[in-house]
Every structure is written in C-alpha cells, then in structure tokens.
Amino acid sequence: MSLIEKLTPEQEALIPVYREKWRAIALSTERIDREKAAEAVKSAYKIMDFDEPKILFYDSPYAVFKEFMLQLDNSFFNQKAYKFPEKLLFSIRDKIENKIINKELKIFLKQEIIVNSIRDICEIFAWILPKELDQSLYIFYERFDISIFNLNYISPELLVGDAICINFCISELKWNVFQQHWLILQNLIKNCGWIFPDKNIAIICDRPLHLRFDNQNRLHAEGEPAIEFTDGYSLYSYHGVTLPEKYGKIHPQQWQAEWLLSEENAELRRVLIQGIGYTRICEELQAIELDTWQEYTLLKIDADVDEESINLLKMTCPSTSFIHALRVPPNMNSAREAIRWVNWGIDSEEFGVQT
C-alpha cells in the first residue's frame, strides 16, 4: 500500500458515486433478513474475542427504549456494552491515515467524504427522541440520568461516512486495510438497522417502513409521517423540522391560520407560516388595511403571530383577480414604499409593465 499525496481528478470525481451508494444502503427501508443480521452481529462479537450474544429483535428503536424502562431494574440490559465502532474502525482508520502524507489531503478526505456524508443524513438521529415522547420515558431518562446520545448503539447512519472512505480507499487507491474487519463492518451496515450491543445480549432493530425527504434530503412529508416503523412509531417532519402529530397528520393545505394565535413555539409558528402562506394568512386572520396604491394593498396582521409584526403587500391581478401576498418589513407605512422594496428599490412606474 503506497503513500499518497494527492488524488487524481478522476479519483476525486468518484467520491460522489461512493457517497450515493452508501447513502442508499444506510437509508434503506427494506425489511432486514433476521438470519443475516444475527450472523453479522455474531461475527463482529467473534472477531473481537467476545462470547456469542443472545440476539433479540425489535421493530423500532423506540420499542427498545420502552423495554429499557421496563427491564432496567432487573438487569435485562445494563448497557455495559463494548464499543463496536472503536474496535472495528480504529485499526482501519489508523492504517489509512498513516498512508496519507499530505496534511491537506487528509483534511480533505475527512471533510469531503466523512463529515459531508454524515451531515447529509445526520438529522435522522432525531428519530428516537422527538418532543412528544411519552411522559413515562421522560421520567425514565431523568431517573437514570441518560439520554439517547449516551446510550451505546450502532446505526448505519453513524457508520456511513467511514464506510464511504474505506470503500473508496480500497477500491480506488488499491489499499489493503484489514479486509476481515471491513467485511464485518459492511455486513453490519447492509444487514441491520440500529444495534444495541451488550456483553451477553445484542438487540437488533428493523429498518423504518417509510422514509420521506424533500429535494434537499431533509426529512419531509405532508399529511403523513416522514419516518414510520412497522410497530406504528412515527415521526412527522416538515422540511427537516419535527412536527407534533396534530400538525403533521394534516396536509398543509388544511392547516389553519388561527393555529398561529395559540402556538407558543417560534419554530413551529415559522413552519405554519411557511405551509399556510401569507395569502391565506391575511385572508383568514382579517388583516388590517394600512394603505393602497392601484392594485396593491399594504396590510398588517394585528395579532401576536410572529416575533415581529407581520406587514404584507397584497397584489391583485387585474385580469385574473388572483391574489398574492408577500411579507415586507414591519416599518413600511405605504403601499408604494412596499412596492419599491419588493422591486429592489425601483418604483413600479419605472417599469414598462407593472409587476
């Protein structure tokens, strides 16, 4: 395995190919093959010289946490677990880094392959601890002073960045780095969902039944869960923002502007505003008219809807009577001033055709 100072343009161009390959694997929604999943975990225990564990299967990580709460007192699962990523990855990482003699290239590989790949799907880590968990689980977390991020677990999303880097270095740079460790790591990612490893027990979770995203790869669904497991555990999300079920199960076209008056969470109010749109908001919340000019009307929402008052420029198309509203700064006092702001400082009379 030779030392390397620089990637060729051809090699660099292949990085997105490996990223997409492993992203698809990590975010698969196919049902796991329990036999293959159990064998992958047992092989990992064996290569680390641990005794073969008892394998348990659950439909979702949420179901595992509920079991933790019920069984912790009688030591069903004490979380004195071995750190799989460290034991499987560190030897491979060290060998790869030792062969990269250019510091800038080492930083590039870490940023471009590992960090960017994980960042692309890191919001998935919010699966298990949404804001509306059962109160009993909150009591559980407070009682034992733990959180999801302190529990020892393995997930495909956490391992995908390293998998891309290792796969790229082995296939494109022809590096031979602990092939047996690499094979086991691949099998864990490809054949398992979340894994909770313990000294004598390993819990394997099935994958989600559905994962839905917007065009920027943010969790997103309208009127249905963005993440859904076979046991019914679901998470609603709107362009990456976790929603309570009362909003998430309703399509944004049916969201009501009056909800803004009672919603205390600023981020959720922002999402509601985005989903409802200013045109409907000014109609449903009976905006106050401040000024008019030709087919333009400056309006104000006289209610505590956002962190600052909402001023809207309503535009009515003369030919179709279609109404459209845009938000303008709250210090606008005239419709014509708001028009200039919308037109980047140019008065609409300077246009040959008004917009």
C-alpha to C-alpha distance for 123 and 242, rounded to whole angstroms: 10
SS3 106: helix
Please write the tens of the pLDDT for every residue from 215-254. Answer: 888 889 999 999 999 999 888 999 988 898 999 999 999 9
pLDDT score at 212: 92
For CA atoms 194, 138, 250, 285, give the dihedral sign.
negative
Locate the domains of the chain by residue range. Answer: 9-207, 259-350
Q: Which residues pair with 347 in a beta bridge?
A: none
SS3 250: coil
C-alpha to C-alpha distance for 71 and 78, rounded to whole angstroms: 9
Most confident of 145-149, 224-228, 292-296, 304-308: 224-228
Spell out the SS3 assignment of the chain: CCCECCCCHHHHHCHHHHHHHHHHHHCCCCCCCHHHHHHHHHHHHHHCCCCCCEEEEECCHHHHHHHHHHHHHHCCCCCCCCCHHHHHHHHHHHHHHHCECCHHHHHHHHHHHHHHHHHHHHHHHHHCCCCCCCHHHHHHHHHHCCCCCCCCCECHHHHHHHHHHHHHHHHHCCCCCCHHHHHHHHHHHHHCCCEEECCCEEEEECCCCEECECCCCCECCCCCCCEECCCCCEEEEECCEEECHHHHCCCHHHCCCCHHHHCCCHHHHHHHHHHHCHHHHHHHCCCEEEEEECCEEEEEECCCCCCCCEEEEEEECCCCCCEEEEEECCCCCCHHHHHHHHCCCCCHHHCCCCC
Please give the residue that has the higher pLDDT: either 246 or 107: 246
The share of the chain scoring above pLDDT 90, in percent, equals 21
pLDDT for residue 51 is more than 60 = yes
Q: At what angle do helices 15-26 and 179-191 cross, to 10 degrees?
A: 50
pLDDT for residue 344 is more than 90 = no
Spatial neighbors of 28 by CB under 8 A, at least 6 apart, are 156, 207
**Of 56-65, 95-104, 276-285, the least confident:** 95-104
Please write the tens of the pLDDT for every residue from 271-284. Answer: 998 999 888 888 88
